[in-house]
Amino acid sequence: MRIVAKWGLLAVLGLALTASSNPQPAGLLGIDISAHQGVVQFEKLEVQDKLTGEWVRPHFIYIRATNGAGRLDDYFNRNWTESKTHGFKRGAYHFYQPRHDPRDQAELFVKTLGSTAGELPPVLDIEWMPSYTTPERLRADLHVWLNKVKGHYGVQPVIYTNVSYYQDYLKGYFPGYKFWIAHYSTTPRLDQHAHFWQFSDKGVARGITQNVVDLNYAVTEFFQSL
């Protein structure tokens, strides 16, 4: 597997993805996929760096498994199997729906993945703060999902969200958790808790002909600790 490290793209991406300390560039490039990408040709899969134009094999792939309490991603089983067959480091994520019971959502995720969560920690994707609940209730429910999944796999999940949602609703309420933050900028608003940075939702990839793909950097040391 080809490792993409120490890219010149980011003068702000460092060992802890900390925007304020101006660290040296370092990171691993990866993608996340779902049914939106259609049939992925994993044998051809390469991602184009937007600045250098170089085509590289993603170091990791996160794959959507489930959505809410009753919906599997239509392409999950294929993506999960094929990514493993072609030697990609993979993980699965769940798109959280606040209107559904967190226990039901966790059970669906675990049932879909089965006995293994892949080579990377499971991810909880939360992006929605609806009017029919409160931040306090939502955070309590998220902890239910996180604890149930962690209890099943023995691995602490990562929390994915965008930078505004993180700062408004999550920051400081999930001690010890690592975050995956979406912020589409060359100067990300991240802090020491961010171990993944989604820096684009318009990536171009060989092997993906339907829609664009999300591009992410992950802290090198985080992968070495797995």
Active site residues: 32, 127
39, two tokens: 């049939």
* Residues 193, 177 contacting (CB under 8 angstroms): yes
Read out DSSP for 153-198?
Answer: HSSPPEEEEEHHHIIIIITTSSTT--EEEE--SSS----TTEEEEE
* C-alpha to C-alpha distance for 170 and 136, rounded to whole angstroms: 10
Say if residues 22 and 12 touch (Cβ distance below 8 Å).
Answer: yes
Q: Residue 51 has what DSSP assignment? A: T
* Distances in whole angstroms, Cα of residue 45 to Cα of each of 50, 52, 196: 16, 18, 21
Residue appearing with tokens 């370092």: 26
CA 189/CA 205 separation, integer angstroms:
26
